[in-house]
Amino acid sequence: KAGVTQTPRYLIKTRGQQVTLSCSPISGHRSVSWYQQTPGQGLQFLFEYFSETQRNKGNFPGRFSGRQFSNSRSEMNVSTLELGDSALYLCASSDPGQANTEAFFGQGTRLTVV
């Protein structure tokens, strides 16, 4: 079974630009969650999508958005990039239909804003 795939692995963007990151979950997993990891703030929850609907949302500004497609693949978008958005963005997939389900993480996308 293929794991969670995130693309691209690395990105360099300029302040003010926008960026789109992609996450392909494990086959059969309908829940995709996104996290931002920075040295100062640690791992912070961005949002979760389940069956194409946003089910949970963290405390991030509206510049951060996401969506999920019918095949469960998810994208997150950050508009008007700021230097502070430089981070490792991780996505995790899970199968909520399983009791005590665990989340499987991708390798992340390293975003650098210059």
Binding site residues, another protein, CB under 8 A = 4, 6, 31-33, 35, 42-43, 45, 48, 50, 55-56, 58, 90, 92, 94, 96, 99-108
- Please state the closest distance from residue 86 (CB atom) to another protein, in A: 16
Q: Nearest distance from residue 62's CB to another protein, in Å?
A: 19
Number of H helices, E strands in the chain: 0, 11
**In the numeric block, which tokens belong to residue 32?**
């995709």
Strands 109-113 and 10-13, how do they pair? parallel
Is residue 69 within 8 Å of 51, Cβ to Cβ? no
Q: How far is the CB of 92 from another protein (least distance, A)?
A: 8
Ramachandran angles phi, psi of 24, nearest 5°: -105, 115
Amino acid at the residue 3: G
Q: Which is nearer to another protein, 13 or 50 (CB)?
A: 50
For another protein, the closer CB: 15 or 55 = 55
